[in-house]
Structure 1
Amino acid sequence: MNSGKPIRRRVSREEREKQILDAADAVFGERGYQAASMEAVAERVGVTKPVLYDHFGSKEGLLLACMARARQELLAVTSKAVAGASSQEEMARQGFRAFFEFLDSRGGAWTLLYEENTKPLGAAVAALEGIRNQQTELISELLGFQAPGADPRRIEGYAQVIVGASERLALWRGRRGDISADEATEYLMDMVWHGMAGRQRSRGDATQ
């Protein structure tokens, strides 16, 4: 006999964790890590706080899980973008655009990764640096394809510059709110790709 109460569908542990991570991304993005509460995340999911602790152990554990997922997804989208490029220049452009579009798709949660005044302490700092290192390695590999005979230290230095510039550009466009992913991509291309191309031309002229 139907009592009129809605029937709650049981979800798998994997699906529940995804729901919790989605909610945590939103809450952390809206409030910052320090002001966010497990209660707010639980309310958004529609579960009790003990469910969150059962899955992630603590608020820091939940944050680290969010960052681990972001790291995997960022690598996936940027790798896929560059894999479909038809030239080295297009490889750089597609990779930059994928980065900015990824941040857009995360809404306010990207501040969790790059906004200085919301940056938590502890293990999350190492997780953030891990994301940077992952992207630096990917960019170094792409730059190595462009200039196979270049000094590896110079290539790594360029990659560090690109990662830093990308973060600052992302923060700036986030504050403005009127810079598209395509526009940000072209700003980065102007400074990075075309600047490097000019340097390569200068070195070629000097050796003639």
Structure 2
Amino acid sequence: MSKPHSRIRLSREQRYEQLVETAWKIIHEEGTEALTLGHLAEQSGVTKPVVYDHFTNRSGLFASLYQEFDNRQTALMDDAIQKTKPELELLASVIATSYIECVLLQGREMPSVIAALAGTPELEKIRNDYAVIFTEKCRKIFAPFCHDKSIHDAALWAMLGSAEGLSYATTCSAITADQAKGELFSVIISMVQRSYYQPDNAMP
């Protein structure tokens, strides 16, 4: 007669990863409204205090999901960049492709997470932190192709706005992934090309 399986004790990091994975599954199958800390505990086979210890409250849970998505997106993009030759069009293509594909990888769940966090300080902080990281990454990548080795802040933020808008339109099926990638590629190339002749105070 076989012995019953003993319950595996997970490390804090392993438990966090399990909770995050289960939370994404709940959102995918039941929607964001169903994702409460109590339901997450039930689906993960743990007590409520365990979940509260990791996330404190529901906003903290959604903030963690957003952060996990950003970390994953950054890692995938950095890996793609490292494998790309330092040429403008190749780098623009890999940035555009990586950005759109990372959003699609999470499907429709990501806009739902953002909507659930709308207006919370957690969302504002995470989005601002990621925006700074992404724009500075692009500044470092594309500055060598500019006449003065720099890109204006306004241009970088305009590019980020385009990336976010195109990603949202893709997840809503308003446009195709290829259209989004192509348009974002064009925005990046245009951003770099305009740096050749547009002074700091120039108007379009």
TM-score tier, shorter chain, comes to 0.7 to 0.9
1:16 aligns with 2:15: yes
The residue type equivalent to 1:88 in the other structure is L
* Cα drift, residue 165 of structure 1: 0.4
The residue type equivalent to 2:50 in the other structure is V
Distance 2:6 2:130 in 1: 41
Contact preservation (8 Å) 1:26, 1:108: no
Distance 1:136 1:54 in 2: 33
**1:58-114 Cα shifts (integer Å, max 9, x gaps):** 22332333233233222222222122212221111101211112112223332156x
* Cα drift, residue 164 of structure 1: 0.4
Matched residue of 2:104: which SS? helix
Instruction: For structure 1, list consecutive stretches of 5 or more residues without a partner in the other structure.
Output: 204-208
**1:137–1:100 CA distance, 2 compared to 1 (3 A):** same
Q: Which residue of 1 aligns with 2:180?
A: 184
**1:46–1:105 CA distance, 2 compared to 1 (3 A):** farther
* Cα drift, residue 140 of structure 1: 1.6
Contact preservation (8 Å) 2:146, 2:193: no
Q: Which residue of 2 aligns with 1:206?
A: none
User: How many residues of Structure 1 are paired with residues of Structure 2 in the alignment?
Assistant: 196
1:59 aligns with 2:58: yes
Distance 2:55 2:195 in 1: 49
* Cα drift, residue 25 of structure 1: 3.3
Contact preservation (8 Å) 1:136, 1:159: yes
Q: Which residue of 2 aligns with 1:68?
A: 67
Greater CA drift, 52-61 or 159-168: 52-61
**1:55–1:117 CA distance, 2 compared to 1 (3 A):** closer
* Cα drift, residue 167 of structure 1: 0.5
Q: TM-score, normalised by structure 2?
A: 0.79
Matches within 5 A, 1:95-134: 95-111=95-111, 115=114, 119-134=118-133
The residue type equivalent to 1:106 in the other structure is Q
Distance 2:83 2:2 in 1: 54
Contact preservation (8 Å) 2:23, 2:40: yes
**1:73–1:169 CA distance, 2 compared to 1 (3 A):** same
The residue type equivalent to 1:31 in the other structure is G
1:81 aligns with 2:86: no
Matched residue of 2:35: which SS? coil
**1:42–1:160 CA distance, 2 compared to 1 (3 A):** same
Contact preservation (8 Å) 2:93, 2:185: yes
Distance 2:179 2:6 in 1: 48
Contact preservation (8 Å) 1:79, 1:95: no
Q: TM-score, normalised by structure 1?
A: 0.78
Q: CA RMSD in A?
A: 2.9
Contact preservation (8 Å) 1:112, 1:119: no
The residue type equivalent to 1:71 in the other structure is D
1:166 aligns with 2:155: no
Matched residue of 1:192: which SS? helix
Matched residue of 2:152: which SS? helix
